[in-house]
């Protein structure tokens, strides 16, 4: 290129229309409303880029994104750092929620099924003057105690199997209880809530026994109790079947992704970068020699590594190639 053409080319590649590879970080003043600031961007673009964008044939939209939201909420696949998906977190959280709900329902069903063994206890305590509130408090305390014990056991199991899970998943996962105490606090609170939820119905049901009937052996579960128990069992098995089907589908998808034909054998390819001018000029004789090798099936060239993102902009060269673009 000639000098004037080079200047024009660089101008086109470094203006705000043609160059879209970089993110701009802003530190706004305290009290600034990001939404109000973002509302001024269309007028700014129209003033400085409107005509050039019209000539280029496309439009641009500027927006603000908080730094803390870059990983999960950016929605930009080629960000400056690896991005995650908040949708996947919601899916995993939903699976954990329904699994915990199944456990709570299972506890309710077992507690009500064992009601015949505890009805005499309730009848004797009521006959001795215990009121319903104290009985509810007792049964709720038992459920919370079991939930907290399960929480402590889960911590021990997690600490033991976490290295194995990290190796299987390929992710480096660690739990440091000294610095991540808030995680323990959150899960401890969750165990308390789980105990309250799982023990609420059994506590209300067991505390409603009439001492005269249970001490005379006339205790019979009502139709509403039996219907509710059957409904909980149906709901429990329905959620279990849905989770099993979802697990099978995910497993099949992962198996397909690992075994799908990519059109080339990635383990039988060698990529040789030719970075310098002399190396690039020697590609033709190198290709001819490699094709004649008995162990080489085919040889090809590409501007970028296949399968790897290679963003590029203006290519500038030093030395005798400084006028090449």
Cβ 81 vs Cβ 51: under 8 Å? no
Say whether both 97 and 224 belong to one domain: yes
Say whether both 80 and 95 belong to one domain: no
Q: What is the number of H-type helices and E-type strands within the chain?
A: 12, 0
The residue out of 257, 277, 299 marking a domain boundary is 257
Say whether both 166 and 190 belong to one domain: yes
Cβ 198 vs Cβ 147: under 8 Å? yes
Task: Look at the chain and report how many structural domains it folds into.
Answer: 2
- When computed from its CA atoms, the radius of gyration of the chain, rounded to whole angstroms, is 34
Does 91 have pLDDT greater than 60? Answer: yes
- Rounded to whole angstroms, the Cα distance separating 210 from 14 reads 84
Range from 44-48, 135-139, 303-307 carrying the lowest mean pLDDT: 303-307
Question: What element of type H or E holds 124?
Answer: helix 115-127
The residue out of 33, 65, 84 marking a domain boundary is 84
Residue 265 tokens read as: 């054998």
The residue out of 218, 237, 257 marking a domain boundary is 257
Other C-beta atoms closer than 10 Å to the C-beta of 230 total 11
Domain that includes residue 137, residue range:
86-257
Question: Is 287 within the bounds of a domain?
Answer: no
- Rounded to whole angstroms, the Cα distance separating 312 from 39 reads 31
- Rounded to whole angstroms, the Cα distance separating 297 from 39 reads 58
Position with higher pLDDT, 206 vs 5 = 206
Q: Is the pTM of this model over 0.85?
A: no
Does 282 have pLDDT greater than 80? Answer: yes
In the chain, helix, strand, coil percent, each to 5? 65, 0, 35
Position with higher pLDDT, 268 vs 295 = 295
- Rounded to whole angstroms, the Cα distance separating 235 from 148 reads 25
192: Cα within 13 Å, side-chain hemisphere? 6
Cβ 158 vs Cβ 175: under 8 Å? yes
Cβ 301 vs Cβ 294: under 8 Å? no
Q: Place 10 in a pLDDT band, splitting at 50, 70 and 90.
A: very low
Question: Is 316 within the bounds of a domain?
Answer: no
Does 129 have pLDDT greater than 80? Answer: no
| Span 150-191, pLDDT tens digits | 999 988 888 888 888 888 777 777 777 777 788 888 889 999
Say whether both 176 and 44 belong to one domain: no
Question: Is 210 within the bounds of a domain?
Answer: yes
Say whether both 174 and 212 belong to one domain: yes
Does 7 have pLDDT greater than 80? Answer: no
Interval 186-212 mean pLDDT: 82
Other C-beta atoms closer than 10 Å to the C-beta of 200 total 16
């Amino acid at each position: 290129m000639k000098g004037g053409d080079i200047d024009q080319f660089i101008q086109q590649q470094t203006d705000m229309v043609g160059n879209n590879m970089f993110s701009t970080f802003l530190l706004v003043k305290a009290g600034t409303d990001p939404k109000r600031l973002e509302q001024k961007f269309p007028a700014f673009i129209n003033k400085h880029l409107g005509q050039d964008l019209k000539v280029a044939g496309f439009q641009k939209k500027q927006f603000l994104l908080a730094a803390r939201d870059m990983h999960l909420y950016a929605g930009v696949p080629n960000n400056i750092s690896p991005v995650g998906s908040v949708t996947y977190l919601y899916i995993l959280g939903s699976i954990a929620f329904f699994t915990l709900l199944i456990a709570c329902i299972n506890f309710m069903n077992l507690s009500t099924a064992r009601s015949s063994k505890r009805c005499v206890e309730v009848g004797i305590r009521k006959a001795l003057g215990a009121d319903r509130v104290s009985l509810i408090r007792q049964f709720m305390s038992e459920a919370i105690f079991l939930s907290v014990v399960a929480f402590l056991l889960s911590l021990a199991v997690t600490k033991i199997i976490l290295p194995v899970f990290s190796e299987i998943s390929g992710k480096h996962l660690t739990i440091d209880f000294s610095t991540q105490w808030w995680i323990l606090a959150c899960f401890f609170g969750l165990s308390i809530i789980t105990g309250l939820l799982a023990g609420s119905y059994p506590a209300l049901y067991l505390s409603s026994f009439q001492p005269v009937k249970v001490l005379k052996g006339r205790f019979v579960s009502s139709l509403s109790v039996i219907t509710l128990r059957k409904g909980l069992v149906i709901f429990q098995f329905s959620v279990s079947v849905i989770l099993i089907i979802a697990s099978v589908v995910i497993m099949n998808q992962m198996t397909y992704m690992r075994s799908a034909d990519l059109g080339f054998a990635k383990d039988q390819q060698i990529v040789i970068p030719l970075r310098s001018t002399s190396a690039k000029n020697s590609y033709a004789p190198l290709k001819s020699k490699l094709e004649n090798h008995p162990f080489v099936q085919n040889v090809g060239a590409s501007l970028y590594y296949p399968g790897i993102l290679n963003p590029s902009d203006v290519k500038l060269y030093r030395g005798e190639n400084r006028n090449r673009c």
